[in-house]
Every structure is written in C-alpha cells, then in structure tokens.
Chains A and B, each alone.
Chain A
Amino acid sequence: MLALLWKSVPDLPASRKNGGKMEKYILEGATGSWEIVVGLEVHAQVISKSKLFSGAATAFGAEPNSQVSLIDAAMPGMLPVVNRECIRQAVRTGIAIGAVINRVSKFDRKNYFYADLPQGYQISQLYHPIVGEGSLLIDVDGEEREIGIERIHVEQDAGKLMHDQHPTKSYIDLNRAGIALMEIVSKPDIRSPAEAGAYLRKLRAILRYVGSCDGNMEEGSMRADVNVSVRKAGEPFGTRCEIKNVNSVRFVQAAIEYEARRQIEVIEDGGKIIQETRLFDHDKGETRSLRSKEDAHDYRYFPDPDLLPLELPESFIDECRESLPELPDAKRQRYITHLNLTPYTASVITADHETAAWFEAMLEYFKEPDAKIATAAANWLTSELFGALKKLGRDITDSPVSPKQGAELIALVADGTLSGSLAKQVFEIMLETGQNPADIAEERGLKQTSDTGAIEEVINKILADNQDKVEQYRSGKDKLFGFFVGQTMRAMAGKANPAVVNELLKKLLAA
C-alpha cells in the first residue's frame, strides 16, 4: 500500500536496449566500423588542511599569494617535508578502489621551467607510486563493467598564472602551488563516452565517500587528461592522443567523441595519427593540437634527494582501512538486500554520499525501519524531494527540509494520519515555511480522518442522494464504485482515509 502512495521510479531507464545487453559503442567510418579505446588520468586535489610538503593552508578562494610558505615559493635552502594527512588520504583512496598499497614508494622530481612552478620541478612519483593496481565497477545502462586502475600517485600542484590583470604583465598566484594531488590513472579499458562519464561519476562518488577529494570539477579540484585512440575490431591499440585538463564530465564525453571521429577521418584519409598532446575547446566542441611528441618536454625525472623513500607501516594502513566509511557498492547492495530497495533506487541514492547520508539520517528516526518504510522513504526522497530541490535550484546539502522532517512526513503517511495527496500538500507548505509536518497537519486541519462514524454518515447521505446510481451499481455496473469514492472524498475535502472509505462503501453498497 505504502509503495503505491508515490509513484516509484522504474527499475531501469527506458534507454536500455537489446534485452539488457549493452550496445557496443561503434563509430561507422567510410572503411568500416571503429572501436574507441580510452584511458583517463584524473587529477584529484586531496582534502587536507595543509599542502603536500609545507604547512601552508589549502582553502579555495583565498586572497592571491596569502597561502604560500617559503617552501612553496622555493626560497633558497628550503626543504620539503611530507604531510602525513595527504599520504593517509591517498592510501584510503587506494583501499577504497581495492588497490595494492605499496609499502614503499618514492618521490621523483619532474623537471621543467614554468613561471607557475617555483622549484623548477614538480615533486611526483614516477617510478614507485604509493598505490598500485585496483579497479572500479561502472554501470552503463544497467550493465556493470569493471574498469582497471593502473596506479595512484601523489604529486604537487602548480600555481596559477593570471594574464588579465595588467596589459603587459602576467601575475602569479602561488596559493595552489604545492597542494597535494592524487593522479589516478585508469587502464585503457574504457570503450565509449558513456563509460568514460560513468567512470568519472563513480570515481567522484568514491572520492567523496572517502572524503579524500571534493570532486568539484568547476573549481578545478578534479580534472582529467583523456587518452584516446581508435582501432578496427580485433586490432591492436592505435596511436593515442592525450587531451589535457578537461574539467567536466560532459566535456570529457564530448572531447572523446570529437577526437575519435577526428582520428578516424585522419586514418581513413590515408593519414597517420601522431602521438601528441591536445586541448579541448569546449566553445567550439573540438580538440586542437598543443604539442607533438617531438616537442615534448624531457622531464629528466630522478628520485628527489630531499625526501626519503616513503615507508608505510602495517598499522598505518590498518588505520586507514578502518577509517573508511561504507562505500557506494557495498551500500547499494545492502539497500537492495536488507531494505528491499529496487536496484535502480539504490543506485540513485548511493550515487552520492550526501544523498545516502540524508537517506540514512531519515531512517534513523524510525525505531525499526522495515522494508516498507525504507521504500517509502527512498521513493519520497528520489521523487518528491529531488523534484522540489531541482525546482529550487538547490542540492541536498542545503535542502530546506531536514531528514527529521522528511521522516516525520513518512511516518504520518505510514500511520494513516496523512493520505498521499494530503502529504503532498503538507510537503509544499514545509518547503515554504520550514514548519514540521505534524504541526502543519494540525494547524491547517489537513489530517486524514478514519472516523468511521463520520465517513459513514457522509456515505449514507451520498447514497441517498444518488439512488439511481446505487441501483445501477447493485445491478452490476461495478465501475460506479469510483464515482462513490470520488463523491465521498470530495464531500470530506480529501481528508477521508481512502482505505476506510473503500471498506465502508463496499459494506454499505452491498447492504
């Protein structure tokens, strides 16, 4: 019954095709079908109060150059000291993707000159990264696929150049210089723009669950380098091009599609793909060559002599493991098996740790939330609340309604105080006033009545006023039952408990 109060969302989106088999992403060229091969290198800014090798703060949006230590500015004689918290975050992330945690890793210097790079080198981990192979599960059109992760290493971010502050000079803001990044490198396992999108969303969800990166692509705290190549089915990998610094899921998908088509065109016109670095121009929706392999920097990587190898004791790794919250895949499975949610609803709620947290906060207000309550709460959350938030242009973290209020609303429906339609009215008022649902129902008289005496009185009057219809019903015109329900509900201003109305009507019409 409860499940019917709100229209539940369908199990799977309508786009699912081929009886559940995912359609292979194929690009048709003049010479036949092409498959694309994509690998992603995601740079995720580590959540930590201070930078990877200095004590300077990392807050976003601070006054330029207000968060720069002598180390970040590469003053003479300054030395890096690794920040344990950044290492902890990388290890936690590694464990979250089921990856090998390397007990010994090393820092290397990547040498190049640029005005936003004070040291003249970036401290990174080329030869011995902190996290080895792992993987994550993505879901595209209901089909699950595992995408391999090659490695995660930690490295320093660079500063920011500002070219728009002065007609002839460039300005430098070093606030970002030295902030810890995780570079999360996938294997070339991705085969479509949709998979790339699903991978990025899933990775972002995990990072946010773990709390190691806020995943905010607009603020640049997560950015992707996209490696794209094309091949005919069954052939070895083609030459790849790397599209640097793409900063939204949508742009990543568009860049892959454009780049794949460009490469097919080049090859089919008898040309060759040259390995190069490209940029995605999202205004024009195209990729452009930045530099070819021949002009590529020689980074002269070598082990940073200022830093000892990073050795992780087992106790540290255990501590990292124990600090992890329940992760989205496990949570989703628990929702399906223990709360009886549909796989789709479970996916929607667990896609984002804040939604899941909101959902679980709501359930905490029930002594023993059973599958019915959980389903009702889940459906209300994903349809009513999401709908309202979308209209308001807000997200769940600044919802005008609290989980406690949501739970109260669900409880009022569950105990028959509110009908579905009354609950909708109460919810509208909650959004406007922020009042608790019980108070709204009380003050505005929106409570459902299950008073059989009162309902019976109204029914008797309706039956008396509609003798002809009663006759017709009794002689077999069952469809008229709805008419009597409607009349009764209208007479009671929608507040009658529909179950009670049904029951009484059946009894009195049968009399």
Chain B
Amino acid sequence: MTRLTDLGVTDLRDGIAKGDFSAREVAENFINATNEAEKLNAFITLTPDHALKQAEEADKARASGQLKALSGVPLGIKDLFCTNGYRTTAASKIIGNFVPPYESTITEKLFAAGAGMIGKLNLDQFAMGSSNETSAFGNVISPWRQKNDDAALTPGGSSGGSAAAVAAKIIPAATGTDTGGSIRQPASFTGITGLKPTYGRCSRFGVIAFASSLDQAGPMARSVKDCAALLEVMAGFDPKDSTSADVMVPNWEKLLSSDIRGKKIGIPKEYRVDGMAPEIESLWQRGIQMMKEAGAEIVDVTLPHTRHALAAYYIIAPAEASSNLARYDGVRYGERQTPEGSNLADMYSATRAAGFGDEVKRRIMIGTYVLSAGFYDAYYIKAQKIRALIARDFEAAFDKCDLLLTPATPTAAFALGQKQDDPIAMYLNDVFTVPASLAGLPAMTVPVGLNDQGLPLGLQLIGKPLDEQSVLNAGLALEERAGFTSQPEKWW
C-alpha cells in the first residue's frame, strides 16, 4: 500500500481534490514523519499548527468546491524565508530568536494558494556553505548512506535541510534558495529535483539576503512535475522587489512535455574539469545518450570563461554579503553583546563576533577586503567583468543550442567533516552550478543514477533566460529515461 508520505505535491493535490484522502490526514502523516526524523536535524523550527490549520482550510475548501492550486499540500520552508509570526533564523545565532512581523512574498503566495508549513528547514548559516555544516543549529544529516558504511554524509548546502527532508520523504517538497548552487547541489546529493529559476522570476522580498544579485528562490521536490507546479505559485512580478521580472508566469505544469525531439542540447567542453570523478563523466555520457534517445540533437559548445567563474563568484557573493549582513549589528533586533564598559564600536564587535559563525565571518572579511579602497578595481570590478564575459559565453552558446546539459556536482555527497577545514575544496563543489548563477539563467538538477557506493548523482540542465519550460521539459525527458526510483534506506 502506498503511504501518503510517498506522494509528492501534485499527487497529494489531486488526491485531495478527488477525495482519496483528506488534507488533515496528509498533514498528520507528514507531521508524524518529521517527528520521527529528528536525527536528520532537517528542521530548525517545527510548525505543525500551521500545516494543520491550512489542512483544515483545504478540507473546507474541498467541501465547498473552492480548492486552490496547492490546497492541503504541506511544505517545508527553508529558514531563510521570513514567516510572519514564526521564528526565522537563517540558521544563525545572531537572529536565532527573530520572529518576523511580516511574510516573504514567496511564502505569502504559497500559503495563499493553500499550502501549509510543516516547519522551517535547516540550512547553512545565511545560506553560506555547500555541506550544511555552518548552521548554528547543527549539521543536517543526509538520509543517504554509502553501502556498508554508517558514516554521516552531507546533504549538500546551503538548502541541506530542504534536500534531506524531501529525500527522506518526511515532506513532499520544500522551498530552497540558490545563490551559487544552493538548490541544485543538495538536490543532486540527495536524489531529488531542484530548480533555480531565472534571476528575477521569484521575489526576493522577505528572503534574508546573502548576495542580492545572485539569490533566487526555487522549488525542491520529488519530481519535475512537482517543481513545475510549485514554481507556478512561487513565481511572479513583485513591486516590492525592484529586481523582480515583470513578465507573465506560464502554465509550466500544463505545458510540461517530455517531447524534446529536434531540441538542440549543448555540451560545454569546459565542464570536463580536472579532478572530476570518473563516475560523473560516465553519468554525463549516459545523460547525453538519454537526450539523444529522446530525439534531441547533441551539439558541442564552448563556454571559454568557465574556469574563472568560481573565482568571480567568490568575490562578488562575499562582497554583497559583507554589505547585506551589516544590518545585524545588535542595535535593533537579534543578538546583542555589551561587554563591561563597552562603547558602540565594542558592542558591534562583540555582537558580531558572538553572533556569526566562522564561514559567515570568513565571507564578510573576504567581501570587505575586495571592496576596500585600492583593491576594488583589482577584485570586484574585475570579477564583474568576468561575470559579463560568462553571460556572453552563454549567449553565444545559445545561438547554437536550446539547452545545456552538464554535471551538477564534481562528486557525489561526501562525509560530514571531510572538507570542513578546507574552504577551497568546499568551494569547488559549486564549480558547475556557479556559472548559471552568475548569468542569472534557469537551471535544474535531476537525479539520474547511483554511483558504485549507492549514492545519488544528478545532471544539470541550463536554459535561456525565462525559458524554464524548456528546462522542465528536458528535465522530464531525463527523468522518464533515467527512471530514478532509488530511496535511502530508513535508518533514522
């Protein structure tokens, strides 16, 4: 018998609509599942009251025939989205007890569409990290384990809680945010589907900022179809976000089709990087084969500036972060440290020293440095130039193809602690995801197979600006052919 927790967003939605089960049953099942999964540490705050209240509304709506797009679907919300009346921490100590009196646009839209919130998901502190090891609320543990090995693995980051919870089927889907790969890399590590839409598709209003010019919210779900359904609700112009795109939101789910015959799929040669695991290379080849089988044409393309992307990203993102995080100063809200006899500057130092974790401090320092007088031109301006060149590379490539197919990550999930002391090794995780972020392009990772140790591996599809539909369609084609149904064995 299928358990309710085995169902994803669209199946739950449709089942509630048909009356196969009530929204309340759905909510209760997932709440129980989350309660049993404490060992994953996927949540920072549980909010069953919200999920149950929304479920009640959904059941009423069904009775009166007024179901909405996501009525009765309980979600996990990355704890970077401000939720009115519910603690929002960014996995930090500095706002560890912050309860916003306002709602982010994304959660507002999701809740207005009938979705409930099961809890606020753990993440890397201020979304800075690729392994979910920088959270002030502890590591998230991946539900996946290597064959014959009980070592705790990373779910990836920064949306590690989102990825782990969806993969463990304790929630049907989650919101994530992606600055340099924070949706795609953890989705890939945990065998789920994650979509970072075009920059500007989803409002950033109420999403705690990491790097404003890169941050973009997106869905993390069990299937391509579920991602499409969620994104339809999440996306849309928001006058409260000046960088939000004033364009129509297509009916992605309705228009979803795995028929990609005649589509040109570009294979960028620069994504074959040194040190890439052979299993990733062979996965990529399998993906290319699947695309061919689906009737797509494979073309070789070049993205010559790819090798500079990571360096540019690790200048631009920290630069913006160093400024965005200046507001956490102990003056108006959050943590405040006032050592004996301290003046204002002492209070700032003590508060920020105590309130921020090491990785956040590292990035604030890098960002402050690259913006400093005398270094600005050499670092920040140069990084912006590289960013423009990378965007131009993609534009040129898209003259020859409709989509790009690349690996999502250079390796499968690694053990927690393995790269913690080597920030460069950690940053290299983002090598395949960062270029699309810098160019603001829609990109999605889809699980394609398992490696020899039994860990999931994903591939990435990158599309033209605002062409999420092609990304979703090719993603569906990949999903159908890969037939990825593996699940982590329950140990928690």
Name the one of B90, B211, B240 contacting A305, with C-beta atoms under 8 angstroms: B211
**In the complex, how many angstroms separate the beta carbon of B481 from the nearest chain A beta carbon?**
39
Q: Does A453 contact B (CB under 8 A)?
A: no
Q: Does B98 contact A (CB under 8 A)?
A: yes
Q: Does B454 contact A (CB under 8 A)?
A: no
Name the one of A79, A111, A307 contacting B323, with C-beta atoms under 8 angstroms: A111
Q: Mark A74-86, 1 if CB is under 8 A from B, else 0.
A: 1111111110000
Name the one of A301, A305, A307, A308 contacting B320, with C-beta atoms under 8 angstroms: A305
Q: Does B137 contact A (CB under 8 A)?
A: no
CB-CB under 8 A from A81, the residues of chain B are 239-242
Interface-located stretch among A116-124, A235-243, A279-287, A406-414: A116-124
Q: Establish whether residues A115 and B331, one from each chain, have CB atoms under 8 Å apart when the complex forms.
A: yes
Q: Does B254 contact A (CB under 8 A)?
A: no
Q: Does A483 contact B (CB under 8 A)?
A: no
A308-B371 in contact given A118-B327, A302-B376 (Cβ < 8 Å): no
CB-CB under 8 A from A258, the residues of chain B are none
Q: Does A25 contact B (CB under 8 A)?
A: no
Q: Does A70 contact B (CB under 8 A)?
A: yes
**In the complex, how many angstroms separate the beta carbon of B274 from the nearest chain A beta carbon?**
32
CB-CB under 8 A from A119, the residues of chain B are 326-327
**In the complex, how many angstroms separate the beta carbon of B149 from the nearest chain A beta carbon?**
39
Q: Establish whether residues B320 and A77, one from each chain, have CB atoms under 8 Å apart when the complex forms.
A: no
Q: Establish whether residues B331 and A79, one from each chain, have CB atoms under 8 Å apart when the complex forms.
A: no
Q: Does B207 contact A (CB under 8 A)?
A: yes
Residues of A76-104 contacting chain B, CB below 8 A: 76-82
Q: Does A109 contact B (CB under 8 A)?
A: yes
Q: Establish whether residues B242 and A75, one from each chain, have CB atoms under 8 Å apart when the complex forms.
A: no
**In the complex, how many angstroms separate the beta carbon of B316 from the nearest chain A beta carbon?**
9
CB-CB under 8 A from A302, the residues of chain B are 319-320, 323, 371, 376, 380
A77-B206 in contact given A300-B368, A300-B372, A302-B380 (Cβ < 8 Å): yes
Q: Establish whether residues A76 and B371, one from each chain, have CB atoms under 8 Å apart when the complex forms.
A: no
Q: Does A431 contact B (CB under 8 A)?
A: no
**In the complex, how many angstroms separate the beta carbon of B175 from the nearest chain A beta carbon?**
13
User: How distant is the Cα of A79 from the Cα of B371 in the complex, in angstroms?
Assistant: 21
CB-CB under 8 A from B376, the residues of chain A are 300-302
Interface size class of B (residues with CB under 8 A): 35 or more
Q: Establish whether residues B333 and A120, one from each chain, have CB atoms under 8 Å apart when the complex forms.
A: no
Q: Establish whether residues A77 and B205, one from each chain, have CB atoms under 8 Å apart when the complex forms.
A: yes
Q: Mark A307-320, 1 if CB is under 8 A from B, else 0.
A: 11000000000000
Q: Establish whether residues A118 and B332, one from each chain, have CB atoms under 8 Å apart when the complex forms.
A: yes
Name the one of A79, A113, A300 contacting B204, with C-beta atoms under 8 angstroms: A79
CB-CB under 8 A from B88, the residues of chain A are 76
Q: Does B104 contact A (CB under 8 A)?
A: yes
**In the complex, what residue of chain A is closest to B345 when comparing beta carbons?**
A113
**Chain B contact residues, majority secondary structure:** loop
A80-B326 in contact given A75-B333, A302-B376, A305-B211 (Cβ < 8 Å): no
User: How distant is the Cα of A73 from the Cα of B207 in the complex, in angstroms?
Assistant: 16
Interface size class of A (residues with CB under 8 A): 20 to 34
Q: Establish whether residues B243 and A120, one from each chain, have CB atoms under 8 Å apart when the complex forms.
A: no
Q: Does A485 contact B (CB under 8 A)?
A: no
CB-CB under 8 A from A115, the residues of chain B are 329, 331, 344
Q: Does B100 contact A (CB under 8 A)?
A: yes
Q: Establish whether residues A298 and B373, one from each chain, have CB atoms under 8 Å apart when the complex forms.
A: yes
Q: Establish whether residues B212 and A305, one from each chain, have CB atoms under 8 Å apart when the complex forms.
A: yes
Indicate the member of A76, A120, A308 with the most B CB atoms within 10 Å.
A76
Q: Establish whether residues A308 and B326, one from each chain, have CB atoms under 8 Å apart when the complex forms.
A: no
Q: Establish whether residues A76 and B326, one from each chain, have CB atoms under 8 Å apart when the complex forms.
A: no
User: How distant is the Cα of A79 from the Cα of B212 in the complex, in angstroms?
Assistant: 10
Q: Establish whether residues B208 and A77, one from each chain, have CB atoms under 8 Å apart when the complex forms.
A: yes
Q: Mark B66-101, 1 if CB is under 8 A from A, else 0.
A: 000000000000000110000010100001001011
Indicate the member of A80, A172, A305, A307 with the most B CB atoms within 10 Å.
A305
Q: Mark A277-300, 1 if CB is under 8 A from B, else 0.
A: 000000000000000000000101
User: How distant is the Cα of A306 from the Cα of B206 in the complex, in angstroms?
Assistant: 13
User: How distant is the Cα of A215 from the Cα of B209 in the complex, in angstroms?
Assistant: 37
Q: Establish whether residues A121 and B323, one from each chain, have CB atoms under 8 Å apart when the complex forms.
A: yes
Q: Establish whether residues B332 and A109, one from each chain, have CB atoms under 8 Å apart when the complex forms.
A: no
Q: Does B21 contact A (CB under 8 A)?
A: no
Residues of B310-366 contacting chain A, CB below 8 A: 319-320, 322-323, 325-327, 329, 331-333, 344-345, 348
Q: Does B411 contact A (CB under 8 A)?
A: no
Q: Establish whether residues B371 and A300, one from each chain, have CB atoms under 8 Å apart when the complex forms.
A: yes
Residues of A37-83 contacting chain B, CB below 8 A: 70, 73-82
CB-CB under 8 A from A109, the residues of chain B are 323
Q: Establish whether residues A77 and B329, one from each chain, have CB atoms under 8 Å apart when the complex forms.
A: no
Residues of B196-222 contacting chain A, CB below 8 A: 204-209, 211-213
User: How distant is the Cα of A307 from the Cα of B242 in the complex, in angstroms?
Assistant: 6
CB-CB under 8 A from B368, the residues of chain A are 300
User: How distant is the Cα of A113 from the Cα of B344 in the complex, in angstroms?
Assistant: 10
Q: Establish whether residues A70 and B380, one from each chain, have CB atoms under 8 Å apart when the complex forms.
A: no
Q: Establish whether residues A76 and B332, one from each chain, have CB atoms under 8 Å apart when the complex forms.
A: no
A308-B323 in contact given A76-B88, A113-B329, A115-B331 (Cβ < 8 Å): no
**In the complex, what residue of chain A is closest to B90 when comparing beta carbons?**
A76
* 19 residue pairs A–B, Cβ–Cβ below 8 Å: A76-B90, A77-B204, A78-B206, A80-B242, A81-B240, A109-B323, A111-B326, A113-B326, A113-B345, A113-B348, A114-B344, A119-B326, A120-B325, A121-B326, A300-B376, A302-B380, A306-B212, A306-B243, A308-B242
The residues of A with any CB-CB pair to B shorter than 8 Å are: 70, 73-82, 109, 111, 113-115, 118-121, 172, 298, 300-302, 305-308
Q: A118-B327, A298-B372, A300-B376 are in contact. List 12 more A-B contacts (CB 8 A).
A: A77-B82, A77-B104, A78-B206, A79-B204, A79-B242, A82-B242, A111-B326, A118-B331, A300-B372, A305-B212, A307-B242, A308-B242
